[in-house]
């Protein structure tokens, strides 16, 4: 088949972008019955994790669906940090009790990503590995449209409600990968700040750093027009920074600057700060979900995956873990020092958005790292990978886990070699 590219252009001039429709605001999650009824659905599966399930929100959503004549059942078996095994368990539950006309995901990225996978596999058939990104899976395209999925985030972090991908661990291969296709995007993002009021300060801080990294990595990702022209078949979800992703990420950074510290320190009473943070999370998702993330997120994979004995306060103490938002932010200051020469003006602008009015440092490459460590130390993020259990001697063991994430590193504005990652990790043992 011909490529169909009639343009004859040799440089890249095209970017792509997509986002779900949005219903945003306090009380928005109390309208899901009406919203789902618009799709003419009769039976809906509500997916959540046990922690969120215990708070009663999914049951409240199910009750609201019932009031519109929609039969709803809650599956509260979503695994936090999902894997191929946990996806399979959720799919099995859905198949056993289905068929379903639609899905609602209530929770963090784990619940929303699990619902995306359940929707894909129950709508299109096949096996998980058919759809997982190459080279781990076969990256097949969904054969048809999926059922409507309404995504309801309960943390201000991942932005999974905005994106067209889901992330999972492949347990047998000890690797984190994903499924990425525009048909995975939720039919509607229902974003209700009232659901985030009771998040503990430590969770608010960590999840919020995920937003910061989404926005900063997207904003500093390679500019879409700097790559070679792609044929239509070659276009990928992550097309590099572009005018639309920039718009969302700039606004997300401004919201972060205004409200992150308040959300951590007095979030239980501060609806405005919670609203700004949840908006920042969704907006950053609208951005990075199309442009991409790079080194800090790539480093987050081994930092979280190879955890030793670190048990963060504010989280369940039953097993060691590095929360996702910590794992992706601990090397961010040093990563942005490394990326600075590729686009100095972007790094300076990002620093100004994140820390408006901050003094200009003699070395401009220090501006964004300084803004970041100022924020991270204020909100109680651990001081470097040393504070979550890694010493200099652990670094060589971490590097391969980062280098496996070529899909992310491809978005970096500079070529990244193993020795670059090693140096970034070594310099991130202590950040301030």
Non-local (6+) Cβ contacts of 93 within 8 A are 75, 77
Instruction: To the nearest 10°, report the CA torsion of 391, 176, 242, 369.
Output: -10
Q: Binding to a second copy (CB under 8 A): which residues in 168-227?
A: 182
Q: Could you say whether residue 34 binds a second copy (CB under 8 A)? A: yes
CA nearest to 280, candidates 195, 156, 146, 116? 156
Q: Could you say whether residue 391 binds a second copy (CB under 8 A)? A: no
Q: Which residues pair with 11 in a beta bridge?
A: 228
Query: Would you say 418 and 298 are in contact if contact means Cβ atoms under 8 Å apart?
Result: no
Q: Is residue 309 classed exposed, middle or buried when 0-12, 13-18 and 19+ CB atoms within 10 A define those classes?
A: exposed
320-343 residues labelled b (16+ CB within 10 A) or e (exposed): ebbbbbbbbbbbbbbbbbbbbebb
Query: Would you say 413 and 366 are in contact if contact means Cβ atoms under 8 Å apart?
Result: no
Give the one residue of 75, 103, 248, 390 binding a second copy; rule: CB under 8 A.
248
Q: How many residues does the chain have?
A: 432
Q: Give min distance, CB of 70 to a second copy, in A.
A: 10
CA nearest to 409, candidates 249, 244, 296? 296
Give the one residue of 85, 170, 175, 247 binding a second copy; rule: CB under 8 A.
247
Q: Give min distance, CB of 24 to a second copy, in A.
A: 6
Give the one residue of 42, 67, 360, 417 binding a second copy; rule: CB under 8 A.
67
Q: Which one of the spans 20-28, 172-180, 195-203, 321-329 is the region binding a second copy (CB under 8 A)?
A: 20-28
User: φ and ψ at 6, to 5 degrees?
Assistant: -85, -5
Q: Give min distance, CB of 297 to a second copy, in A.
A: 23
Q: Which one of the spans 98-106, 110-118, 140-148, 354-362 is the region binding a second copy (CB under 8 A)?
A: 140-148
Give the one residue of 50, 56, 125, 232 binding a second copy; rule: CB under 8 A.
232
C-alpha to C-alpha distance for 432 and 413, rounded to whole angstroms: 25
Q: Is residue 231 classed exposed, middle or buried when 0-12, 13-18 and 19+ CB atoms within 10 A define those classes?
A: exposed
Q: Which one of the spans 29-37, 50-58, 97-105, 257-265 is the region binding a second copy (CB under 8 A)?
A: 29-37
Nearer CB in complex with a second copy: 36/395:
36
Q: Could you say whether residue 35 binds a second copy (CB under 8 A)? A: yes
Give the one residue of 47, 51, 68, 289 binding a second copy; rule: CB under 8 A.
68
Q: Which one of the spans 4-12, 50-58, 93-101, 299-307 is the region binding a second copy (CB under 8 A)?
A: 4-12
Nearer CB in complex with a second copy: 25/314:
25
Query: Would you say 83 and 171 are in contact if contact means Cβ atoms under 8 Å apart?
Result: yes
Q: Could you say whether residue 140 binds a second copy (CB under 8 A)? A: no
Query: Would you say 267 and 201 are in contact if contact means Cβ atoms under 8 Å apart?
Result: yes
Nearer CB in complex with a second copy: 7/377:
7
Centre a 10 Å sphere on the Cβ of residue 414 and count the other Cβ atoms it contains: 17
Q: What is the DSSP letter of 293?
A: -
Give the one residue of 49, 62, 64, 78 binding a second copy; rule: CB under 8 A.
64
Q: Give min distance, CB of 60 to a second copy, in A.
A: 7
End-to-end alpha carbon distance in the chain: 56
Q: Give min distance, CB of 379 to a second copy, in A.
A: 23
Q: Is residue 59 classed exposed, middle or buried when 0-12, 13-18 and 19+ CB atoms within 10 A define those classes?
A: middle
Nearer CB in complex with a second copy: 4/362:
4
Q: Give min distance, CB of 267 to a second copy, in A.
A: 18
Give the one residue of 56, 69, 125, 126 binding a second copy; rule: CB under 8 A.
69
Q: Which one of the spans 27-35, 349-357, 384-392, 397-405 is the region binding a second copy (CB under 8 A)?
A: 27-35
Nearer CB in complex with a second copy: 232/341:
232
Cis peptide bond N-terminal to 179, omega within 30: no
* Interface with a second copy: number of residues (CB under 8 A): 52
Q: Could you say whether residue 387 binds a second copy (CB under 8 A)? A: no
Q: Which residues bind a second copy (CB under 8 A)?
A: 1-9, 12-28, 30-31, 33-35, 38, 40, 60, 63-64, 67-69, 141, 143-145, 182, 232-233, 243-244, 247-248, 251, 279
């Amino acid at each position: 088949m011909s490529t169909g590219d009639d343009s004859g252009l040799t440089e890249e001039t095209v970017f792509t972008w997509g986002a779900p429709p949005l219903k945003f605001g306090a009380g928005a999650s109390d309208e899901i019955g009406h919203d789902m009824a618009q799709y003419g659905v009769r039976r809906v599966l509500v997916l959540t994790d046990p922690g969120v399930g215990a708070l009663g929100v999914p049951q409240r959503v199910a009750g609201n669906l019932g009031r519109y004549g929609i039969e709803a059942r809650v599956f509260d078996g979503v695994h936090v940090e999902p894997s191929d095994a946990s996806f399979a368990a959720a799919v099995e539950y859905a198949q056993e009790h289905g068929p379903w006309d639609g899905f609602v995901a209530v929770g963090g990225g784990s619940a929303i990503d699990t619902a995306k996978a359940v929707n894909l596999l129950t709508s299109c058939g096949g096996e998980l590995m058919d759809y997982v990104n190459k080279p781990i899976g076969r990256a097949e395209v969904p054969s048809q449209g999926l059922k409507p999925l309404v995504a309801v985030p309960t943390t201000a972090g991942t932005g999974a409600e905005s994106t067209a991908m889901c992330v999972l661990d492949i347990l047998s291969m000890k690797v984190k990968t994903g499924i990425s296709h525009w048909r995975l995007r939720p039919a509607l993002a229902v974003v209700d700040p009232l659901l985030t009021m009771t998040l503990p300060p430590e969770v608010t801080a960590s999840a919020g750093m995920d937003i910061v990294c989404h926005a900063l990595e997207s904003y500093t990702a390679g500019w879409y027009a700097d790559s070679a022209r792609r044929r239509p078949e070659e276009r990928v979800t992550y097309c590099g920074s572009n005018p639309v992703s920039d718009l969302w990420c700039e606004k997300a950074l401004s919201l972060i600057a205004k409200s992150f510290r308040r959300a951590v320190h007095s979030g239980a009473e501060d609806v405005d700060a919670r609203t700004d943070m949840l908006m920042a999370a969704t907006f950053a998702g609208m951005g990075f979900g199309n442009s991409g993330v790079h080194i800090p997120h790539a480093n987050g994979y081994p930092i979280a995956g190879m955890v030793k004995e670190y048990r963060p306060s504010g989280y369940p103490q039953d097993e060691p873990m590095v929360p996702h938002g910590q794992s992706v932010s601990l090397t961010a200051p040093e990563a942005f020092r490394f990326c600075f020469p590729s686009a100095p003006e972007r790094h300076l602008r990002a620093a100004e958005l994140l820390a408006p009015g901050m003094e200009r440092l003699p070395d401009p490459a220090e501006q964004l790292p300084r803004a970041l460590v100022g924020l991270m130390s204020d909100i109680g993020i651990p001081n470097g990978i040393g504070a979550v259990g890694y010493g200099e001697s652990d670094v060589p063991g971490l590097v391969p886990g980062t280098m496996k994430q070529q899909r992310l590193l491809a978005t970096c504005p500079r070529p990244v070699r193993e020795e670059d990652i090693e140096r970034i990790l070594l310099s991130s043992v202590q950040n301030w």
